[in-house]
Chain A
Amino acid sequence: MRIGYYPGCSLHATSREFDESLRATAVALDVELAEIDDWSCCGATSGHATSHLLSVALPARNLALAEEQGMQEVLAPCAACYNRLASASHSLREDAGLEIKIKEILARPFANTVRVRNVMELYRSLIPQITEKSAGRLKGMKVACYYGCLLVRPPGVLAFDDAEQPTSMDEICRATGATSVDWNLKVECCGGAFSLSRTASVIRLGRAILEDARKAGAEALIVACPMCHSNLDFRQSAMTQSGETPMPVLFLSELVGMGLGLSARDMGMKRHFVNTGPIEKRATETAAQVAAEAAAKAAKAAETAAKATAQAGTAPAGKGVA
């Protein structure tokens, strides 16, 4: 399987581990990621907060490049990029006047044919492969799937899952053997782009998310957005009180990678601020336990089979004697 790839600015910088882990899982799952040559920024929040036209024109340049480069589908792992690319494509379909204007601004051929996919859609389509290759490696590990806002809203535009009770990330986590806990804040906002400009808001919102995940018994929080990750990982020390166990915040690609048995090193997990050592150790333990259970089961099956052949071997012989 080959898919166009739009990493976006964050995956080349503060969320490098999202890019590294995604690429590592892609190799393991036989997916080829073809990066759009010379892609540019989608404009993110700053684009749409200041100019609707700019918020469509910047993503449109990338969609046009993907089209030029022969791509039908583009994977945008960053939730903000995904949201902007998909929203721009949607606005262009809905508003003919806007489409004319954008084509004029781009000054290159553009038919708006590329489909924008997020990382959950990609992994969801690979659940059978993930299940098979993981063989339940993370059985017993409890995770809270955090979708945030940009992956599921607005529902009219991003219609790949339910906007209030999405489940695709939970299904993917379960494919690795992990248990996804029920909790309340899976689609709450973490404060997104206010990380630098209004840090206090981000800390208030992040604290509530971490507390709820902790109450639900989660050992790790799973995200698919660089901003959620930086807010909840990088700023976590300001959100937790002394004595509370830190909550590792993993990109979905890192959890899938752990399920596939990839090394934490290859996935760039050393780049996190909250120590991922304990959750990596936990993954090693669950994998060992699952392997031991499988070995015991296999041994028992072999024993039963041996008994059966022994019986089958003796019975006809007995008959023969009689």
Chain B
Amino acid sequence: MSTSGAHGHATAPATLAAELRGKTGQNPAECYQCGKCSAGCPMAVETLLRPHDVMRLIGGDRRETLLEGESIWLCLTCEACTARCPNGCDPARMIDALREMSVARAPRAVGAFHRSFLDQVKANGRMFEFGLVLEYKLRSGKLLNDVFSTPGMISRGLLKFVPSPIKGVADVRRIFAACEREAARDLHASGADGRDQ
């Protein structure tokens, strides 16, 4: 992001840590590996890289391991790590920034859920739950998941079948387009798209 650090340099930041520092305003080197973040992480038992591992690998400039792996997508952003860090680090923000970098490199890295969700918002200005579930099922191939609970949802009046777009849906689409343009510009500036500077 050109709001801080990276802006103004002719060449791409040398390290992942420097790049993240530019994007988030946070210095990942401030992590001293106490592991308190991982002790409170609800996904620590399921993920390969726990929050303090992520922080360590940022310091070790392990770009591929972090951006290609599944771990950054297993963060729930409950922010227990950030709230409890004794040294003021923000692992949740780091992981968000890593996800953003991963999407910029390969748009397909975004899971089926996030893509379906954002598509609904782009189309209607609001999230349309029935459309989200339908689109997610088609994208993920999990066609039969939760099929038996649909009648319960309907009888409780919880599912709307037709989306009702807001008046300012063009407004919302313009916001998406502007953010996408900005991301493309960032990617180009950082040289991560493979171009030489």
Q: Which residues of A contact B (CB under 8 A)?
A: 9-10, 12-14, 16, 38-41, 43-54, 57-58, 61, 95, 97-98, 101, 104-107, 148-150, 152-155, 163-164, 187-189, 191-194, 196-199, 201, 205, 234, 270-273
Contacts and interface: CB of A to CB of B under 8 A. Distances in A.
A201 B76 CA distance: 10
Contacts of B156: 270-273
Contacts of A101: 3, 182
Closest 7 CB pairs of A and B: A189-B78, A97-B3, A149-B78, A46-B117, A9-B127, A46-B114, A153-B79
Contact of A40 (B126, B128, B146): B126
B4 interface: yes
Interface residues of B, number: 64
Contacts of A205: 42
B43 A201 contact: yes
Contacts of A45: 77, 114, 117
B176 interface: yes
25 contacts: A16-B157, A38-B167, A40-B126, A40-B168, A41-B121, A43-B118, A44-B127, A45-B114, A46-B113, A47-B118, A48-B77, A49-B99, A51-B100, A54-B175, A54-B179, A58-B172, A105-B174, A153-B79, A153-B82, A189-B42, A189-B80, A194-B76, A197-B111, A234-B149, A271-B157
Contacts of A9: 126-129
Interface of B: 1-4, 23, 25, 42-43, 46, 73-74, 76-80, 82-83, 90, 92, 96-97, 99-100, 103, 110-114, 117-118, 121, 125-129, 133, 136, 140, 145-146, 149, 152-153, 156-160, 166-169, 171-172, 174-176, 178-179, 182-183
B43 to A, nearest CB: 7
Of listed B92, B96, B110, B175, residue having the most chain A CB within 10 A: B175
B4 A40 contact: no
Nearest to A108: B171
Contacts of A53: 1, 179, 182-183
Contact of B79 (A154, A194, A198): A154
B159 A13 contact: yes
Contacts of A199: 145
A40 B100 CA distance: 22
Given A52-B97, A197-B113, 13 more contacts: A14-B153, A40-B168, A41-B121, A43-B121, A45-B77, A46-B113, A50-B118, A53-B1, A104-B178, A148-B78, A149-B79, A154-B92, A191-B76
A38 B168 contact: yes
A105 B136 contact: no
